Structure 1
Amino acid sequence: MEVLENYIDGRYVAPSTGTYIDTENPFSGVVWGRIPRSSAIDVEAAVAAASRAFREGPWSTMTAPARAALMRRLADLVLKNVDELAAIEVRDNGKTYREMKAQVGRIPEWYHFYAGLADKIAGEVLPTDRSDHLSYTRREPLGVIGMITPWNSPLNLLAWKLAPALATGNTAVVKPSEFTTASALRFAALVEEAGFPPGVVNVVSGLGSEAGKALVEHPDVAKLAFTGGVDGGLAVYAAAAKRLRPVILELGGKSPNIVFADANLENAAHGAVAAIFASGGQSCIAGSRLLVERSIHDAFVARVVELTRGIRLGDPMDPATHIGPVANRPQYDRILQRIAMGKEEGAVLACGGGPATGPGLGEGLFIEPTIFVGVDNRMRIAQEEVFGPVLCVIPFDDETDALRIANDIRFGLGAGLWTRDVNRVHRMAARLQAGTVWVNTYRASSNITPFGGYKMSGLGREGGADMIHEYLQTKSVLLNLTDAYVSPFQA
């Protein structure tokens, strides 16, 4: 059995507690490794190392081009090790190897993109009402960034945070999910191989209630970047508020995927299936509410059900598999509870609705791709994030009705829109309360495009050139260009 260690100050070290957490393969059910169950003592060591690296080490005096060179080297190493990193993530979270290899293979783009911005950070000279004064600004890093990542796309979502933070000269302490820690600890070795000074990047594993809580509450953490559920995000936000600490929160979603009768319906049907069932529905942007114009509702739903029945469950390492198992036992149980809740509310199952068993599924945590029809948007199954392969279908009458239903939710992360009417596209895009609107597509993403949520889906944005400012602060400098000084107390 593999025993992993924390990565602190450029070294792999055992947890101060001497205790570990078993980590299980969600497909085989086999415990393959153990990760540190870290305490506040380990977090203290990691933050102290990051603080030293920020203030005293070579990182603090390194030029922006030199930081960029290290980031490019790291990107190349990720690409070189993409097969291994993807396999680690499959073993940890059960997603298909095909998906994880593609996802990890795009991670280098994030480091290259922000490396290209590292030496573009500049202040500006400002006009002043004093001819004998010079006024200018400096854009400076914040310090130690605490990063908490989820279990569904560990390295990908870490890159969203770490790449801009490193480009701007900050240091980092990463607390990955206790369900998917292995890839972050393996990634730390690539950080070291790339030549980053000790302490610039630290990885501490453990429970959210222990290591995560200690990181969130640490007084020397300058900013927190969190991706996860709403409850966790609210706890992070509350702790940060006590110290007036800025946060980036990327939280849940219950995204509407809206299909009008004039759309390319075959494309829309495939898009609806991919929007919810890709990644087994374990995605914050999953199109979990399918809104269908009433005139095409029955025929369109029949096609979506037909496509769904063709989804292949199985070994996530098998290229023929479409969906692997649910990532962990607590989430598996939660999804089944939500399905039961939908039945109790009166939603009607069109397909799926329970655990999936059979040849090739072994001991895996599989759930049948599930579609509910007869859903009212006020039902809990339509309002609460399931984070699993569960789709709610809701009919609508016209644009106004579609917008009312789509926006009648506490979330606002993404929205899909399928129509050939270009005027409708712009009308709807302007009024949909979501951070991203996909038109005649779904799930498309890029490091160049800002991503984040409205309402309870979070605060701040990740991705895009503007993201660089999330990890900078502005300092104003005013310089008297003369030898004279007039005291305000002088007549």
Structure 2
Amino acid sequence: MPSFQPISFDNFFNVIDGKLTSTETTRRSVNPSTLKNNPDVPLSTIEDVDKAVQAAKKAAESWAQVSWEDRKKAVEGFASALEAQIDDFAALITREQGKPFPRAQLEMRTGVEWIREFCQLSLLETVIEDNSTRRISTRYTPLGVVAAIIPWNYPVHPLACGKIAPALLTGNVMILKPSPFTPYSNLKLAELGLQFFPPGVLQALSGDDRLGPWMTEHPDIDKIAFTGSIETGKKVMESCSKTLKRVTLELGGNDPAIVCADVDPAAIPTITGIAFDNAGQICCGIKRLYVHESVYDTVVATLLAVLPHLKLGDGFADGAFIPPLTNVQQFERVRELLSEVERTGLKLIAGSTKPTPGAGKYTGYFVAPTVIDNPPEDSKIVAEEQFGPVIPIIKWTDEEDVIKRANNTRYGLGASVWTQDIAQAERMASKLQAGTVWINSHAELGASYPFGGHKNSGLGVEWGIEGMKSYCNIQTKLVRSSPWDGKS
């Protein structure tokens, strides 16, 4: 393991041009479990953005000239250093984002694994034609300066690690822009990176809601890699169009999971856990559960038996599985969605339309896991992405009908089919309109294969070889052995 110095988690700084920098004004977020203040972080100004971009532009020229093998060694060293402080980072994630400490540890371990998996990928030159007259080939060249806009639900992995490694390996430099709700771990990622990358290669800026637009509008940033909501993604794309920036958008989802009549009963606890993991704050989590009418009662009974084991609580409490919602805005959004459930008289089979007592005022942003029984397709709880521990469970009978209902949405991030009949699953999966379709799985992601959305759920892909290509320009090279006569 390369030598490095462990970093401290007491104070938090911007990382600009190889230095830790502070700002005249600071801000902070709150621990969503306790509502206690987290530490102060910088409140970046437009001048800080300009300094970071200037440093990135300078670094991009030299970093692009570093060999792939040497860039790979630097990224691998960064992964090893991250691995050595997994528990420190995990505790930080729990304090800023809320997820249970064991789940935060898993986020960190998987992030390290993915960084190493990215290092096993490469973008080779492709020879299209090679004869006595001419040789035609294509290769991939870095875009330059990339700004990564990271959301708050998975601040380290896959939403930071999954951008940092592909961008840096392909010869780009990166400025991390964390969510104002979860700035801490991203700042520390860049701080740790100072020991492995030249100044300006990996930077981070903390700020408020002004920071994102400053980056998307900046003429010297070459690409925005954005993960977030559809509404914000549209604004990002509009802003990037003014300077013809490259842009990757990984946006929201309203993923259907279709449970067939012959489903393996052992799958139901897994489906339940996926639906409520991270309090439902997963872009490609299960958001709509379609269950064949012949097993509907059995599935509901099993789900209800599993729910008491999914303990709601503080991320550091023993056995906690469902955390609070990460911020007050999301808490209020889910609360309004539950109020709509109550106003329209929909039937609950678990949970409540009211937050847990004192939630959002005296205690954290806790919402009990809630299940809605067979709501209509046009109800908000079905038509909109909940992004909370609330899920509708809906009956189906006819295969073609359930496929139509699953596809009847502006979203198209993920979908799944659960059955022991793989031929049926393949048939259904081929008709689902989603960027990723799982069979007897859901939200299972990997560094080696691409992930992106159809319809309004995104533009372009992250991860895998195709994701790496999104950080590059493609260049065609044609070499003739003698001057061309203009004819053949």
TM-score, scaled to structure 2: 0.93
Name the counterpart of 2:168.
Answer: 166
Name the counterpart of 1:178.
Answer: 180
Distance 1:21 1:264, change over 3 A: same
Name the counterpart of 2:6.
Answer: none
In structure 2, C-alpha distance between the alignment counterparts of 1:164 and 1:204, rounded to whole Å: 20
Task: Check conservation: 1:407, 1:433, Cα contact below 8 A.
Answer: yes
1:146 offset after TM fit, Å? 1.2
Task: Check conservation: 2:347, 2:373, Cα contact below 8 A.
Answer: yes
Q: How does 1:232-381 map to 2 (within 5 A)?
A: 232-265=232-265, 267-353=266-352, 354-357=354-357, 363-381=363-381
Percent identity over paired residues: 34
Q: Could you say what the CA RMSD is over the residues aligned between the two structures, in angstroms?
A: 2.1
Name the counterpart of 1:140.
Answer: 141
SS of 1:317's equivalent in the other structure is coil
Name the counterpart of 1:155.
Answer: 156
How many residues get paired? 476
In structure 1, C-alpha distance between the alignment counterparts of 2:343 and 2:39, rounded to whole Å: 39
Distance 1:60 1:444, change over 3 A: closer
SS of 1:180's equivalent in the other structure is coil
SS of 1:61's equivalent in the other structure is coil
1:362 offset after TM fit, Å? 7.1
Q: Which of 14, 33, 37 pairs up with 1:6?
A: 14
In structure 2, C-alpha distance between the alignment counterparts of 1:26 and 1:252, rounded to whole Å: 22
Can you list the C-alpha shifts for 1:212-236, whole angstroms capped at 9, x where unaligned?
1010111111111100111111111
In structure 2, C-alpha distance between the alignment counterparts of 1:63 and 1:125, rounded to whole Å: 24
Task: Check conservation: 1:126, 1:136, Cα contact below 8 A.
Answer: yes
Can you list the C-alpha shifts for 1:63-112, whole angstroms capped at 9, x where unaligned?
11110100110111111110001110100010011111011111122222
Task: Check conservation: 2:125, 2:137, Cα contact below 8 A.
Answer: no
Task: Check conservation: 1:27, 1:362, Cα contact below 8 A.
Answer: no
1:319 offset after TM fit, Å? 3.5
In structure 2, C-alpha distance between the alignment counterparts of 1:133 and 1:320, rounded to whole Å: 66
Can you list the C-alpha shifts for 1:254-303, whole angstroms capped at 9, x where unaligned?
111111121113x2321231121111111111211110112222332232
Aligned AA (2:53) = V
1:3 offset after TM fit, Å? 5.0
In structure 1, C-alpha distance between the alignment counterparts of 2:394 and 2:417, rounded to whole Å: 14
**Are 1:42 and 2:41 an aligned pair?**
no
Name the counterpart of 1:33.
Answer: 39
Name the one with the larger helix percent.
1
Higher mean Cα deviation, 425-434 or 465-474?
Answer: 465-474
Aligned AA (2:427) = R
SS of 1:76's equivalent in the other structure is helix
Can you list the C-alpha shifts for 1:347-375, whole angstroms capped at 9, x where unaligned?
2111212212489x972211111111131
Task: Check conservation: 1:39, 1:214, Cα contact below 8 A.
Answer: no
In structure 2, C-alpha distance between the alignment counterparts of 1:274 and 1:187, rounded to whole Å: 29
Q: Could you list the runs of 5+ residues in structure 2 that have no partner in the other structure?
A: 1-8
Name the counterpart of 2:220.
Answer: 220
Name the counterpart of 1:111.
Answer: 115
Name the counterpart of 1:54.
Answer: 60
Task: Check conservation: 2:462, 2:468, Cα contact below 8 A.
Answer: no
In structure 1, C-alpha distance between the alignment counterparts of 2:486 and 2:384, rounded to whole Å: 62
SS of 1:350's equivalent in the other structure is strand
Can you list the C-alpha shifts for 1:414-436, whole angstroms capped at 9, x where unaligned?
11211111211110110111122
In structure 2, C-alpha distance between the alignment counterparts of 1:262 and 1:137, rounded to whole Å: 49
Runs ≥4 residues deviating over 4 A: 131-134, 484-488
Can you list the C-alpha shifts for 1:441-468, whole angstroms capped at 9, x where unaligned?
2332221222111111111122223322
